[in-house]
Amino acid sequence: MAAMRNLSDTGLPFMKMHGLGNDFFVVDARAHEYAIDPALAKAIADRHRGIGFDQLAVISRGAGDAHLTFYNADGSTSAACGNATRCIARYLIAETGKVQLTLTTDRGELAARDMGGGLTSVNMGAPQLEWQDIPLAEEMETLELPIEGSPTATGMGNPHCTFFVPDAEAIPLAEFGARYELHPLYPERTNVQVAQITGPDQIRMRVWERGVGITLASGSSSCATAVAAARRGLTGRQVSIQLDGGTLQVAWQEDGVWMTGPTMHVASGRLTPEFLASIT
């Protein structure tokens, strides 16, 4: 059992990472436990008075190579975060020399692989396609929801609502995403994607993440959009998804949805006791 550290004395060590601009504040708590709560996560997420992030991830000891816990920028928790999982997998691959890892999250057990050339792949597990598993507020078919635009609902350990549109750039995403994140069909709120089919097995996607807002990329959203496109017959089961921050490759296979792309470990640092003491 890792020992609990008093943050008022030691400060909080962290790493800043990103996957295609989807950025993360990462705490390695395998050697020492750190008390992370929603108030602390929200304060760190402030891009003017804190560090800023789309998600905060905590690495702890688990049944596999590590267990991951995720917080959104508003302090809420999420069971899944694909790009953060890839970033941390890359960090652990470099640390251990392994080419394959097993990570656990509240989503379940996830496999990760070093694909060479700086690319890391994570299996985000089987998609959740039934209304109660996503979850939705009432029983219904998930392929085309009774919402204007007929979006598709998908669960990837977190809920998703994917709109297929003629022009993803034309959607006013700040207004659109904020509105549908809180749609009453989604009791736990939802991530919102606008997706445009741009070629054979090519998708242009923009994303609004619940508890965060507009992000440059989202791994779980990319997986959900790939699954939704394949279910609707718009693409095959292996696609290239172009996000604002870059491109991810997603393959819906028999063993789950695999997502592959680059990562970056930007910096390592330590939050000061003074900053931590200022959080109320």
- 3-state secondary structure string across the chain: CCEECCHHHHCEEEEEEEECCEEEEEEECCCEECCCCHHHHHHHHCCCCCCCCCEEEEEECCCCCEEEEEEECCCCEECCCHHHHHHHHHHHHHHHCCCEEEEEECCEEEEEEEEECCEEEEECCCCECCCCCCCCCCCCCCCCCCCCCCCEEEECCCEEEEEECCCHHHCCHHHHHHHHHCCCCCCCCCEEEEEEEEECCEEEEEEEECCCEEECCCHHHHHHHHHHHHHCCCCCCEEEEEECCEEEEEEEECCEEEEEEECEEEEEEEECHHHHHCCC
pLDDT of the residue at 44: 97
Give CA–CA dist 116/171, Å, rounded.
Answer: 36
pLDDT of 7 reads 65
- 137: in domain: no
- Distance between CA 191 and CA 194 in Å, rounded? 10
Q: How many domains does the chain have?
A: 2
Reported pTM? 0.92
pLDDT tens digits, residue range 219-253? 999 999 999 999 999 999 999 999 999 999 999 99
Note whether 7 and 120 are same-domain residues. yes
Pair (26, 45) in one structural domain: yes
pLDDT at 2: 46
Range of the domain at 19: 3-124+263-277
**Residue 107: per-residue pLDDT:** 85
Residues with Cβ < 8 Å from 107, sequence gap 6 or more? Answer: 79, 80, 124, 125, 156, 157, 158
Residue 148 burial (C-beta neighbours within 10 Å; 0-12, 13-18, 19+): exposed
Q: pLDDT tens digits for the chain (280 residues)?
A: 344 456 666 799 999 999 999 999 999 999 999 989 999 999 999 999 999 999 999 999 988 999 999 999 999 998 889 999 999 999 999 999 999 999 999 888 999 999 999 999 999 999 999 999 999 999 999 999 999 999 999 999 999 999 999 999 999 999 999 999 999 999 999 999 999 999 999 999 999 999 999 999 999 999 999 999 999 999 999 999 999 999 999 999 999 999 999 999 999 999 999 999 999 6
CATH number of the CATH domain containing 175: 3.10.310.10
Specify whether 25 is located in the same domain as 116: yes
Q: What is the pLDDT of residues 1-49, one digit of tens each?
A: 344 456 666 799 999 999 999 999 999 999 999 989 999 999 999 999 9
CB atoms within 10 A of CB 166: 8
Is residue 233 located within the same domain as residue 272?
no
> Is the domain of 39 the same as that of 118?
yes
Whether 82 maps to a domain, the answer reads yes
Same domain, 241 and 197: yes
Q: What local confidence, expressed as pLDDT, does residue 4 receive?
A: 44
Q: What amino acid occupies position 178? A: A
Residue 22 Cα distances to 47, 52, 73, angstroms: 14, 11, 12
In a domain, 141, yes or no: no
